[in-house]
Each structure stands twice: as C-alpha cells, then as structure tokens.
Amino acid sequence: MKFRNTAAAAAALIFGATTAAHAATLDDVKRKGEVACVVSTSLAGFAAPDASGRYTGFDVDFCRAVAAAVLGDPNKVKFVPATTKNRFTVLNSGEGDILFRNTTETMSRDADLKLSFLPVNYYDGQGFLIRKSAGIKSATELGGASVCIQTGTTTELNLADFMRTNGIKYDPVPVETNEEALTNYEGGRCDVYTTDASGIAATRTGLDNPSAHVILPEIISKEPLAGAVRHGDDQWADIGKWVVNALINAEELGITQRNVKSKARKSGDNPKVNRLLGTEGGMGAMVGLDDKWAVRAISAVGNYGEIFERHIGKKTPLGLERGLNALWKDGGILYAAPIR
C-alpha cells in the first residue's frame, strides 16, 4: 500500500546512512551512473509508461534532460513513481535525487517541507470535470456533490477553501492516485473530479466517452508546477534550475533538437547562443558540468516548446494550448533567466 511506502521512506530517514544527506548529490549521481527521478505513477502526457514500458511524457523529458546534461545519456534515469502523498518523503529520504511530478510550488513546501524548487515548467490552475448530464454550469452549483480529490495535494486544500468561502457543503472522496480517481469518477462514486487543469485534460483522454464530460469555467487556484530537489545541496539545485532554464532559453533562441548539434559546432555571432551551447563563457563549469551540458540536454529532448508539443500540445490527445506557458514574447509568462 501507499501507506507502506510512506512508512518505508520514513524508515529510510531513520536508518539511512547519516552521511547521505551531506554528500554532493552530483557525485552521488555520477557514482550511481543514474539520476533517480521522482515522477507521477501514471498521468497521460506527463509521466506514464508507454506500450513498451518506457516512461514518457512532459515531466519525464525534464528528467531525461537532467540525465543527459549530467551523465551524457538521457536513458540513465531511474524513474521513481510516487503518489501525491509520498512524493516529498521519497525525495527527502534520498530515494529520489530530483522530482518532476506535477508539483505546485508553495511557501510551506519550500520552507517547511524543505524542497528547493526549480523554475516553473508549467503554469496551471485547479479545474473541475463533471458529466454533461449533471446540467451544471458553474462550480458554485456543486452543493451536495461528491468530489474526488487526490490526497496530499494543494487540490484538497484549495477545494476546502473554495467551498468554505462559497458556503457550499460537499462530500470529499479522497483517492491516492489519478487512476483511482478515474475509477471512482467513472463508477459514479463522485459527481466531480477536481485537480490541475492539465491533469484534467490528461484524465479526460482516459474516459470512455470524453465528449460526455465538461470542464467547468472556474479555475480556482494558481498552480505553478515545478521540479524540486532537497534543501541543502545548492550545486545540485543549480544544475536542475539551469537545465530547465536552458530548455526554455533554447526555444527563445530558436535552438531545436535538430539544429543544436550544428549550431554547437563552432561559435556563431550570437553570444547568447554561444554561451548556452558552450562555445564561449565556460558556463557549465560553474555548476560542476562541462561546456556541452545544455547541448546534450537539448539534443536529447528538444527545447521547451518541442517537449510541450510532443506530449501535451494541440496535436496530442491532451490538446493543451500554450496559453500562459507560451514564451513571454509570444503572450505567455514563460520567462527564463538568462544564461550569462
């Protein structure tokens, strides 16, 4: 059971070698020859095993980018699937080195749960999925409804707040995974499923008849989804942070999976490109890597836009618009710090 996982991770805190937490994660990862990346158990488009059992998805590609930058091989990732409930324990106990798991950055998770968040890789908000036949037009009409929520999420807290401020009585039905939510929602145990809008788009693809369901107009929260590492290892946090920034900057600079190798061959006349691709500036060494770190990451998974379109964009079953997640110069709020 998931409870056992939590217990096991707690036990790791007790028994785990006391030195592990002090050691530089980078050295650890190099010694192990793989990056242990905490991902969702299964969420279409974000992190789910494909037909051949290989993990694929938006979050997964960020794991692979880090592995490519650090170890030179996007396949040197050990995926550690975690529920919403045990993900932080799994990370903090050292079972995972880094986390990309539809996780909202919040103050308490940073300061109290001791996670260092990487730059936001998906700006999201909480939405509601409901059957068309319920005839509901707004989330304020949900009085008396049974609502499926994943435990250990910002979702359940937002929902409690939203229902309270609107004076709505409801029946919360806590579930552990997205799959369990789907079973309960389809079986009619809940009238409504609420989670991040991206998660709803993903869940909808798994429904028998997606068009029989609607997404209510309300988005009741801010959910900046970001990767994270444990507190206490700044170098490792920097690596995660700049890999994400590199992928976003690559899109901004027109560097793609296809052209990155040729652009990296010799320095061109755009110093921004040169610094990112390591033909000048010696940026990689600043985080303990070599100059080609970003080249490897980009050739492994492409730039941010390519990752987005490949897994969750318009042409995928999820069909998500870039929206807020477009680059700042295209009307979104994606704005990565410069590499200099």
Partner 1 sequence: MSEAAHAAMARRNPLARLWNDKESRQVIIQIISFVLIFAFFFMMVRNAVINLEAIGKDISLKFLWQPSSYDINQSLIEYSSRSSHFRAMIVGILNTLLVAVFGIALATILGFLLGISRLSKNWIINKMAYVYIEYVRNVPVLLHILLVHGMIINLLPLPRASLTIGDGAFLNNRGFFVPKPDFEPLFLAVAALFLGGVAFAFWFRKYARMVQDQSGKHYPVFWICLAAVAGVPLLAYFVLGAPITWEIPELQGFNYKGGMVLRPEFIALWLALSIYTAAFIGEIVRAGISAVDWGQNEAASALGITRGRTLHLVVIPQALRIIVPPLTSQYLNLTKNSSLAIAIGYMDIVATIGGISLNQTGREMECMALVLALYLVFSLLISAFMNWYNRRIKLVER
**What does the binding site for partner 1 look like in residue numbers (CB under 8 A)?**
1-3, 6-7, 9-10, 13-16, 18, 20-22, 84-86, 88-89, 92, 108-109, 112-114, 134, 142-146, 151-152, 156-157, 159-161, 163-164, 170-176, 184, 187-189, 191, 230-232
Q: Could you tell me the smallest distance in angstroms from the CB atom of residue 264 to partner 1?
A: 37
Q: Which of ligand GSH, partner 1, none sits in contact with 130, Cβ below 5 to 8 A by type? A: none
Cβ–Cβ < 8 Å for 213, 4: no
Residue 337: count of CB within 10 angstroms of its CB:
12
Residue among 5, 93, 104, 303 that touches ligand GSH (CB under 6 A): 104
- 177 lies in the site for ligand GSH, by CB under 6 A: yes
Nearest Cα to 308, choosing from 227, 251, 236? 251
Distance (Å, whole) CA 239 – CA 235: 6
Percentages helix, strand, coil for the chain (3-state, rounded to 5) are 40, 20, 40
Residue nearer to ligand GSH on the CB measure, 199 or 227: 199
Torsional sign, CA 282, 288, 291, 295: negative
Distance of CA 253 to the CA centre of its chain: 23
Residue nearer to ligand GSH on the CB measure, 122 or 304: 122
In b/e form, how buried is each residue of 207-239, taking b as 16+ CB within 10 angstroms?
beeeeebbebebbbbebbbbbbbbeebeebbbb
Residue among 154, 249, 279, 303 that touches ligand GSH (CB under 6 A): 154
Q: Could you tell me the smallest distance in angstroms from the CB atom of residue 113 to ligand GSH?
A: 11
Residue nearest to ligand GSH (CB): 199
Cβ–Cβ < 8 Å for 325, 247: no
Residue nearer to partner 1 on the CB measure, 46 or 162: 162
Per this entry, what is the length of the chain? 340
144, exposed or middle or buried, with CB in 10 Å at 0-12, 13-18, 19+?
Answer: exposed
Distance (Å, whole) CA 30 – CA 243: 17
Residue nearer to ligand GSH on the CB measure, 42 or 274: 42
- Residues between 221 and 250 with contacts to ligand GSH, criterion CB under 6 A: 223, 225
Q: Could you tell me the smallest distance in angstroms from the CB atom of residue 86 to partner 1?
A: 8
Residue nearer to ligand GSH on the CB measure, 93 or 153: 153
Q: Could you tell me the smallest distance in angstroms from the CB atom of residue 150 to ligand GSH?
A: 4
Residue with tokens 């309300």: 218
Calculate ∠ Cα 332-335-338, nearest 5°. 155
- 103 lies in the site for ligand GSH, by CB under 6 A: yes
Distance (Å, whole) CA 14 – CA 27: 23
- 153 lies in the site for ligand GSH, by CB under 6 A: yes
Residue among 6, 25, 40, 116 that touches ligand GSH (CB under 6 A): 40
Q: Which of ligand GSH, partner 1, none sits in contact with 85, Cβ below 5 to 8 A by type? A: partner 1
